[in-house]
Structure 1
């Protein structure tokens, strides 16, 4: 992108700014609330560490399921009704949980209800991320400046929600009980619900979700592929990645994933439209977003600090909070650079800071002072804050309005799925390295060095994509909505 910022246009509605921030913030706030209250939940329901891990995975699985089913649900209910319904369902579930939790006790029935509630909450809160992404792009189709600013606000919501839930929730849990960790997600859900009631917001029309016309069998295959992945990743993390059952689950995941992808490519109306991939820059930006999640979100350096250096949990929590604050600052810097059309600088700075931060993690076995571990985490957070909104802008810069919802679905899926995949892959590397070397130190160093290498390779891939023109840096406004603006879907069997 080059040139001076365009002339000022009408600013987006205040409700849109609020919805765009609270949509992604709500999802990460629920995760932050669950993580900060894990120990208290375990005590209240007599859950062990493995069961608590499954509880968190239920929430994450619900989020992935929501993103996969979003086009279908949008066609049936409409984007506006779905968004408002998801926000109010979240409010009802959280309020009921906070009201009933003080009287709940451990037991089979109560535990099942807890796990089901985590799955449903994860489902509802995740719906708002891609919907608000499509809303902001539709509302700013002819205003790149506003689109860039709103993308930064959307990206800032991701770490901000987690920070608020972790910090405020942690204090409330200490004062009262685990259920008060739900206060921040509840507050965000209320604000989001009120903002979404504004009828002036540009909700993506149901007609834009063409993929929703797919058959129930196709949707079922997608869901089964997702279930297979969750079984493999959860089972492997709790047991061993080399167990025969886990390896069979991996084979099932690959087989179901290949089947689902084949159905998407050959279906006239796929469950999630592949048409966004025919728009210039989208495939490249989505690939970089996915790869970037792998090394930067797994945070195995936390295990290194706690298990090898015995760093207290409070220190780790403070480090995480400061690092997430750095990510928020990074999104603010990204907004300024996008406004000035300096996207190349944002990309270079984002990758550079991320690489420096990850390189700093390699020294953790020998340097574990708070100033050092907080500084390196903050540098990594700054890099992520710079890159995320820029990658979303590049992915959606030329996306026709009718494809915004499908495109946002793929991007959010890459964002969430990359985190899950990174956790699974690097955990497997940690186990295998430990078995081969017999040294925890060497195993953790192997993981940290590999994470750094993946980030460097991702930066080199991004450079190659920019050089070859696959990742277009030039500014552009998406074509207006209409039948002639939408590119043809990929032909059956096309690569």
Structure 2
């Protein structure tokens, strides 16, 4: 089994530039997401906020803005599942068991390596610019991948897609959190953001199988191009231009180089860790990541304009949110890999049937993301995160107990629906947590930190799980048990959040 570090079930979506530079902005106010604050209320009526404004025309643009970022999230969810289902068929360009993993790992390396820098650039250069730049890179990578005449070109296309994702992810999440006033409006936007990503995964599961079987694997790349064009048109209409006032300080170049190097070494080390004969290289990469990470911390403490203000980690919400995204991807995010292996290698299902099988968990994720906003408003972030993780852990444990090589494979589907429901709840709540109590001016870097945690979790978690499952007759079973433990750790981490306060906060 190869190692495939991958990005998660969706992450980004939303768009607007906040004019209240130092007003408090969060995914959920305090802990409940019900109340707002005066700073964001002012931002919500300021003419510089994209799609949110006092005039009717500005208010009307909020629908276009939300459509743009929702479709961007759908695009990300679509590409995620399409690649998984189509991967076994990408053999005509020289892919084999030794390099097939890099179709996914190349994306993860580029995505994870440049997230922090992209988050800071979104705050300084402009969120709209980074949003459009990310879409352009994503389209270019899709075209390169679809036209690939060899494995190197195919992997290069995925790397370019990863760079596009790194530019797009922090910008869209930051735009969402500053573009909608905290409380009910932002909760609804987060719910739509999560649901469109889940809808994209459903479409990806089905289209991945259909396109691969009918037109070949190249179609899973080309299908992105018209979607990107649509998102660009909506973004140009619904997102206001960035202003010069957004550029406040120079980029921390030493910090950017060190953080990118550390992230690349860490993701690469995690990717290599499960490969046969690659233990020395993996250990070397992980050691290099530690050294570069330590140097990065020293530089950030001394920098006048740090890439990552370390003081932000005093914010419990950001710290718990980042830890949650890492554990989420290490656990929930690895399920698709092992389910694909089970359906196609163990049970010998066709790509179309495999894609249809994935519809069940993806629809459950969609329901969970929709439910999450309501749970946060009523019970708070801590209770929602704990409950979502516990439901997910219960479902994964049940999967480990019921999966076999000879029982009807359809028995697996109801169990996948249970843990996927918890996955959807956690997905929305963890990003709401990570962006709580963060100023508008730092939403980009906070979003970058959170999504960087996702990428690290994807690479390291999958490498660990593949190593644990190596040699097992049914790899899904030991992987599911280990994933259950990781999800339970997420529930324990969520207990560090403040309890819901009196008065609905």
Normalising by structure 2, we get a TM-score of: 0.79
Give the whole-Å Cα distance in 1 for the aligned partners of 2:196 and 2:154.
Answer: 26
> Is the deviation greater in 192-201 or in 378-387?
192-201
**Is 1:452–2:484 an aligned residue pair?**
yes
Relative to structure 1, the CA distance from residue 451 to residue 268 in structure 2 (aligned partners, 3 Å threshold; closer, same or farther) is same
Give the whole-Å Cα distance in 1 for the aligned partners of 2:341 and 2:161.
Answer: 31
Q: CA deviation at 1:313?
A: 4.8
Q: CA deviation at 1:393?
A: 1.9
SS in structure 2 opposite 1:37? Answer: helix
**Is 1:360–2:409 an aligned residue pair?**
no
Structure 1 segment 35-434 matched on structure 2, within 5 A: 35-43=84-92, 45-71=93-119, 73-74=121-122, 77-95=125-143, 98=146, 101=147, 105-106=149-150, 111-140=151-180, 142-198=181-237, 200-201=239-240, 207=246, 213-215=251-253, 217-240=254-277, 243-299=279-335, 301-302=338-339, 305=342, 310=347, 312-314=349-351, 315-340=353-378, 343=381, 346-366=384-404, 368-431=407-470, 434=471
Structure 1 residues 298-328: Cα deviation after superposition (integer angstroms, max 9, x where no partner) = 1264377359953535554333231112101
Note the aligned Cα RMSD (angstroms): 3.4
Q: 2:115, 2:452 within 8 Å by CA — same for their partners in 1? A: yes
Q: CA deviation at 1:92?
A: 4.6
Q: 2:133, 2:168 within 8 Å by CA — same for their partners in 1? A: no
Q: 1:65, 1:226 within 8 Å by CA — same for their partners in 2? A: yes
Give the whole-Å Cα distance in 2 for the aligned partners of 1:426 and 1:204.
Answer: 46
> Is the deviation greater in 320-329 or in 298-307?
298-307
Normalising by structure 1, we get a TM-score of: 0.80
Structure 1 residues 227-280: Cα deviation after superposition (integer angstroms, max 9, x where no partner) = 222332232333246x33332333223322333334334433222333432335
Q: 1:164, 1:184 within 8 Å by CA — same for their partners in 2? A: no
Structure 1 segments unaligned to the other structure (5+ residues)? 478-495
Structure 1 residues 423-472: Cα deviation after superposition (integer angstroms, max 9, x where no partner) = 022223334xx5xxxx646x764443232122223312322x14xx3x66
Q: How many residues align?
A: 453
Structure 1 residues 334-357: Cα deviation after superposition (integer angstroms, max 9, x where no partner) = 133345455555334312320111
Give the whole-Å Cα distance in 2 for the aligned partners of 1:342 and 1:248.
Answer: 43
Relative to structure 1, the CA distance from residue 81 to residue 365 in structure 2 (aligned partners, 3 Å threshold; closer, same or farther) is closer
In the alignment, what sits opposite 2:13? none
Relative to structure 1, the CA distance from residue 387 to residue 161 in structure 2 (aligned partners, 3 Å threshold; closer, same or farther) is same
Structure 2 segments unaligned to the other structure (5+ residues)? 1-30, 45-51, 53-58
Q: CA deviation at 1:398?
A: 2.1
> Is the deviation greater in 21-30 or in 381-390?
21-30
Structure 1 residues 164-201: Cα deviation after superposition (integer angstroms, max 9, x where no partner) = 23322321222223221124422331222112213654
